[in-house]
Structure 1
């Protein structure tokens, strides 16, 4: 019984995420989620007490996507700057391909309209990037005069700014191309011995290796709930 309830909660969450991604928080109603999921409004309220609680669950799931992804890249054997760049491409693909990640991001941008306390974004990413830049400095790969924490703040701002622009212009379809261009500029300043093209080639090879990021992009949630569903169809500072 508990397993069935968990499956239903997950299904409702993904149906809601799809709608929040498409229409935003204000443009989505419980009735819409009922229609999309093929479940009654009563079933939705049984599992989630309100639309706010459902939105909060989507945002929390968005944040929960990152720790394993980050851990895989931080544990890789590659130099720190390569791991940082590889991580950024993995995250970019998740924003492009994973409906819960996209919905969580949009909901946070609309947080003032949601009567719930959402996790604080970006702080965790700044800490992760700072740590990788400090590793790069210890490896002798970081250019002289680069302060890891200051650079990390700028990188995170540039990365999420790029996502905002890419989403507005083409729905993130060309996000990898745009991210490649951004890193070409950033690495020219960050590397002790600048070779942006070489580092990008190695980092991209890492992200496309069969086991490099298993379970993070190709294994992540697709747009899991179809737009029409038959009735029988059953943390902590990141953005």
Structure 2
């Protein structure tokens, strides 16, 4: 019984994510989710309580995507900056391809229309970036005198700003190229011994390809 309830909950959540991503919070109703998912409105209310609860469920699923990504990239045996860049590219792909992530992003942008307490964004990313930068500092990869906390905030701000522009211009179709361009500008200021930033991007690309089981494209 519990397993069946979880299957129902996940199916409803997946359908709601598609509709929220396409139509936004205001443009999506419980009736829409019921009609599209094939479950009754009663079943949706049972699992989520309200449309606000359903939106919160999608946002919580969005935020739940990230700890496993961060843990994996922090634990890889590779240069720290390669791992940081690789993590950013992996996350960029999720924002482009994962409907739960895309829906969560849209719901957060519409948060003032959702009358419920929502998870706080960005803080976890800033903490993760600061941890990886600290590790880079400890192994001698980071430029001497770098303010780790400030740099982490700037990196996260630049990363999500790049997402916003890519989303507005072409629905994130070029997001990997845009994030790579960002790192081409930032890496020379971060590296203890500046080298061609394309080498770091190539290293990150190889790590990303290994995680997906396909050859890495070379960064030109």
CA offsets, 1:176-203, max 9 Å, x none?
Answer: 0111100000101111122201011001
- Structure 2's unaligned 5+ residue stretches are 214-220
Distance 1:165 1:49 in 2: 35
Aligned position for 1:235: none
Aligned position for 1:197: 198
Distance 2:46 2:139 in 1: 53
What secondary structure, in the 3-state scheme, does the structure 2 residue paired with 1:143 have?
A: coil
Distance 2:123 2:2 in 1: 35
User: How far 1:135 moved relative to its partner?
Assistant: 0.9
CA offsets, 1:142-195, max 9 Å, x none?
Answer: 112311111110000000011111111111111001111000001011111222
Whichever structure has more helix as a proportion of its residues is: 2
How many pairs align? Answer: 212
Aligned position for 1:208: 209
User: How far 1:213 moved relative to its partner?
Assistant: 6.4
Spell out the pairing of 1:45-56 with structure 2 (5 A cutoff). Answer: 45-56=45-56
Distance 2:87 2:106 in 1: 21
Q: What's the C-alpha RMSD, in Å, of the aligned pairs? A: 1.2
User: How far 1:26 moved relative to its partner?
Assistant: 0.8
CA offsets, 1:4-46, max 9 Å, x none?
Answer: 1110110000000001111111111111111221222222112
What secondary structure, in the 3-state scheme, does the structure 2 residue paired with 1:142 have?
A: coil
What secondary structure, in the 3-state scheme, does the structure 2 residue paired with 1:167 have?
A: helix
Contact 1:90 1:213 in 2 (8 A): no
Distance 2:8 2:47 in 1: 8
The two structures have a TM-score, normalised by structure 2, of: 0.93
Aligned position for 1:112: 112
Contact 1:92 1:176 in 2 (8 A): yes
Spell out the pairing of 1:19-98 with structure 2 (5 A cutoff). Answer: 19-98=19-98
What secondary structure, in the 3-state scheme, does the structure 2 residue paired with 1:103 have?
A: helix
- Structure 1's unaligned 5+ residue stretches are 215-239
What secondary structure, in the 3-state scheme, does the structure 2 residue paired with 1:88 have?
A: helix
Contact 1:72 1:213 in 2 (8 A): no
CA offsets, 1:47-94, max 9 Å, x none?
Answer: 221000000011011111111111110010111111110100111111
Distance 1:71 1:83 in 2: 11
Aligned position for 1:141: 141
Distance 2:44 2:144 in 1: 56
Distance 2:131 2:43 in 1: 44
